[in-house]
Amino acid sequence: MLIGDCGSTWTKMLDTESGEFEIIQTRELVRRREIFFDAATGHSAKKRCRIFRNELISLAQGALSLVEEEDFSVVDAGGRDIKYVEFEKRKIKKLDWNLTCGSSTGTTIELLGNYYEVDFKTLRPSEKWINVTCGVFGMEKVLEHVSTGTEAEEAVAMFLHGMVRNVYDFTGRPDKLYLSGGFCENNCFLKTFESYCIVIPLGRMVPLEGLRVGDF
């Protein structure tokens, strides 16, 4: 069975029989019209699959499969949005999906990183932050900082810090948080987050795991 998590910028694909896993940019998925999933989740998946499962359900079921605790919270900070589920006794206590206020902040980080050639593995966290109300406003503030003398790396780290604060507030300021998505691979994001709470990265496979174990 081919399952897919088709985000706005990245698509994760898993063949459950062979175990073959592939990550491609979603722009490539758009070109590869032959790809059709047995089951899929994500913004770009709706017309490319036999069974569509909404993103919050995939995230929740994936987290339940990967985390054994009774009470815990998981957040997926994606390219375009932020999704959050809190469990109590392994039942849904709260869930939320922020499309508008978290608008494209993840994608903007990627754009800024590419533009200023920032390596997020070695980027030092900043104690300062930029108020990131959305990707566009945040980017404008980064450009302003750089034009007035702030090092580009520092300005990008400030943007990242602003995004961490958004995610932390959005999730209700927990003591501990499981993280899903591409930011699990962003060292600066993780270190910045650790100044607020314990953060445990689960990787980019959580929604796929939710699809794998989900009942259809």
Partner 1 sequence: MIPSGDSRLIGYYGFPLRRLLNSAREKFGPGLEMIDLDIDHGAPDSGLLPVTTCRIISNIMNNSVMLRSRLAVIVAAVGEGKCDRGRNISFLLQGLGLNVIESRFEEKEWEERELIYSSGRGTLSERIDRIMYSVIDPSPAPGVPEPCRPTHGFWGVPPNDYRVLDLFPETTHIYGWTRCVEAGRPSDMEMESYVDEGVPTVFFTQSFCAKQDLAHYLAEKYGGIEVDCHREINDSILAKVEAFIRLS
Nearer to partner 1, 100 or 147 (CB): 100
- Give Dmax (Cα) for the chain: 55
**213 binds partner 1, rule: CB under 8 A:** no
Q: In this complex, which beta carbon is closest to partner 1, that of residue 25 or of residue 54?
A: 54
Q: Is 6 in the site for partner 1 (CB under 8 A)?
A: no
CB of 164 to partner 1, least distance (A): 21
Number of residues counted as binding partner 1 (CB under 8 A): 18
Site membership for partner 1, residue 81 (CB under 8 A): yes
Half-sphere exposure of residue 176: CA atoms within 13 angstroms, side-chain side = 7
H or E element at residue 147: helix 135-147
Considering the rule CB under 8 A, would residue 60 count as an interface residue with partner 1?
yes
Nearest distance from C-beta of residue 91 to partner 1, angstroms: 6
Q: Which two tokens stand for residue 166?
A: 């958004």
Q: What are the tokens at 89?
A: 């006794």
> Is 133 one of the binding residues for partner 1 (CB under 8 A)?
no
